[in-house]
Amino acid sequence: MSGKTEYSPKMQALFERVAEFSDLEGIMALLGWDQQVYMPPGGAEERGLQSAALGRILHEKFATEEFGQLIADLEDEIGDLNAETDVARSVKVIKRNYEKQVKVPLPLLMESIKAQTMAHEAWVQAKARSDFSIFKPHLETIVDLRKQYVELFQPYDHIYDPLLDDFEPGMKTADVKEIFDKLRPQQVELLQAITEKELPDNSFIKQPYKEDYQDLFGRHVITCFGYDWQRGRMDVAPHPFTTGFGLGDVRITTRYLKDDVGSALFSTMHESGHAMYAQGVSEKYKRHPLGGAASLAIHESQSRLWENIIGRSKEFWTYFYPSFQMLFPEYLAEVSLADFYRGINRVEPSFIRVEADEATYNMHIMLRLEIEIGLMEGTINVGDLPEIWNNKMQDYLGITPPDDARGVLQDIHWSGGMIGYFPTYALGNLASVQLWEKLLQEHPNVPDEIAQAKFDTILAWMREHVHQYGAKYDPQEIMIKATGSKITPEPYMAYLRKKYAEIYDL
């Protein structure tokens, strides 16, 4: 016997079709990676046409009556799509994706792809010049196209629901609001307590660290974490991201700022967390319906865990600080480990989300959620965004961005039509601590292992409880299986209070 799983003819036909879709999606992702990493600005229009052509091919192959009938036949054949078998869950995932895709007219899909490609290049120029007016007409088009998309999914409880569901399956706007309503007053209370204390010095971070040494150190760290360089690479992009073209090719990017060594350092850790999740999906899900991720929040739980819970921990720097200090003696020779640890965990309202500390980060997300809901409801006009953004930054964080680049233009997401994505960042924060707590219950010696640069236990636990399943389980199923609870803010707030009580003597 070969040991190879035998499937029904119809199930085999579905797997073969999905494998082809996976190949085409990988090519589409490769075009997107190249656009952000290597493509010259002049290639935007043609790249938009190339991406749209691929999008049309995918849509025409996927959203067919014949494929829909195949899915319906398999649903009848299997019966319970919630059964914990790969076959049942594969059909469940494909059915969900098909039902969404088939509702989108091909002209709207192609127009959206082209608009997003052009919007990306406009965003790059607008951010470089700190001039929102360059991006404004493109964002107006994006918002209009997103509204057209949402209307295809009526009836809905809230206009934002179909967009949120694209990134966080099963999550409703009301669910996110409920979580954020619990989270916000607790974070505000903690921030108020911290602001009454003296801020630790972090001026040693805001120096012109040599990029080649930063690169060397970042690569060393994520190699220790377990990032597989045989199935990945790292490049530089305006906004750090992770992308994959299959289980054997998962790439990350980082960015270097002239006056903030923390940007590349923690971005590299962050993106490696995303990548190790993708690299950890079971090999049996290669070119398979379950070869993706449970959701963006679960993805974010992995990146935030490696970046913050581990990468900003005292144990991590107990091991890595001497080598980091040796690389940059001109800035760190007189900085003790204790002062360095306090400096990289300084809590202070900041303009840039991706550089925000753990205690203020979620406030950035809540701000963006309010704006996105307003854009979709029509209560916020795109032309008013710079002013609205600045006002909300003042309300949430008590600071006003000095320019568009550090304000409304700082994030890349809207140029790609990714309205509905931002809430997953905060949800991922919460999930990361829940997973971490459960890991520590089972392996209480993990902090000691981190202090010795041993990360095998952590990665193995995440592989067992999160990574291997790919898209087999919905996000809340993953959390219940791994931790016994759905995503909830209580563990995250307990983690923040304990950590910052020590740092700030609260």
254, containing H or E segment: strand 250-254
Give the CA distances from residue 160 to residues 9, 110, 175, 235, 299, in Å, rounded to whole numbers and listed in that order: 39, 22, 12, 34, 21
- Residue 432's pLDDT is what? 97
Q: What is the pTM of this model?
A: 0.91
Q: How far apart are the first and last CA of the chain?
A: 65
State the CB neighbour count (10 A cutoff) for residue 38. Answer: 10
Residue 296: CB partners within 8 Å, gap ≥ 6?
Answer: 167, 168, 421, 424, 428
Q: How many residues does the chain have?
A: 506
Is-contact 280 246, C-beta < 8 A? no
Contact 228, 279 (CB under 8 A): yes
List, in sequence order, every residue forming a beta bridge with 250; answer none if it has no partner: 244
CA 110/CA 60 separation, integer angstroms: 12
**Cβ proximity of 417 and 399 under 8 Å:** no
Quick one: pLDDT at residue 1? 34
CA 506 to CA 501: how far, in whole Å?
Answer: 4
3-state secondary structure of 252: strand
pLDDT for the residue 418: 96
Residue 370 backbone class (left: φ over 0; alpha: ψ -120 to 50; beta: rest): alpha
Q: Closest Cα partner for 146 from 121, 112, 106?
A: 112
pLDDT of residue 2: 42
pLDDT of residue 195: 87
Give domain limits for the chain. Answer: 9-103, 173-504
**Cβ–Cβ under 8 Å, residues 377 and 410:** no
* 3 state SS for 50-82: HHHHHHHHHHHHHCCHHHHHHHHHHHHHHCCCC
Residue 385: phi, psi to the nearest 5?
-60, -45
* Cβ contact 299:274 at 8 Å: yes
Which residues are CB-neighbours of 474 under 8 A, at least 6 positions away?
Answer: 169, 170, 294, 295
Give the pairing of strands 242-244 and 250-254. Answer: antiparallel
| Residues carrying an active site annotation | 271
Q: At what angle do helices 106-129 and 44-62 cross, to 10 degrees?
A: 150
Separation CA 194–CA 486 (nearest Å) = 29
DSSP H helices in 346-505: 361-377, 385-397, 423-442, 446-450, 456-465, 475-483, 490-504
Beta bridge partners of 242: 252
Cα gap 87→340, rounded to integer Å: 51
Sheet holding 250-254, edge to edge: 234-236, 250-254, 242-244
Q: Which of 403, 416, 401, 340 is nearest to 120 (CA)?
A: 416
Tell me the CB-side half-sphere exposure of residue 30, using CA atoms within 13 A. 12
Residue pair 139/382 in contact (Cβ under 8 Å)? The answer is yes
DSSP H helices, 226-295, are 261-279
The residue type at 344 = I
Q: How far apart are CA 268 and CA 240, in angstroms?
A: 8
In order along its 506 residues, the chain shows pLDDT tens digits of 344 677 899 999 999 999 999 999 999 999 999 999 999 989 988 998 899 899 899 988 888 999 999 999 999 999 889 899 999 999 999 999 999 989 999 899 889 989 998 999 899 999 999 999 999 999 999 999 999 999 999 999 999 999 999 999 989 999 999 999 999 999 999 999 998 899 999 999 999 999 999 999 999 999 999 999 999 999 999 889 999 999 999 999 999 998 899 999 999 999 999 999 999 999 999 999 999 999 999 999 999 999 999 999 999 999 999 999 999 999 999 999 999 999 999 999 999 998 889 999 999 999 999 999 999 999 999 999 999 999 999 999 999 999 999 999 999 999 999 999 999 999 999 999 999 999 999 999 999 999 999 999 999 999 999 999 999 999 999 999 999 999 999 999 999 999 999 999 88
What confidence score (pLDDT) does residue 48 get?
A: 86
Q: What angle do CA 106, 169, 49 make, to 5 degrees?
A: 25
pLDDT of residue 355: 83
One CATH from 2.170.190.11, 3.30.1490.100, 1.10.10.10, 1.10.1370.30 for 173-504: 1.10.1370.30
The pLDDT value recorded for residue 4 is 61
Rounded to 5 degrees, φ, ψ at 499 are -65, -50
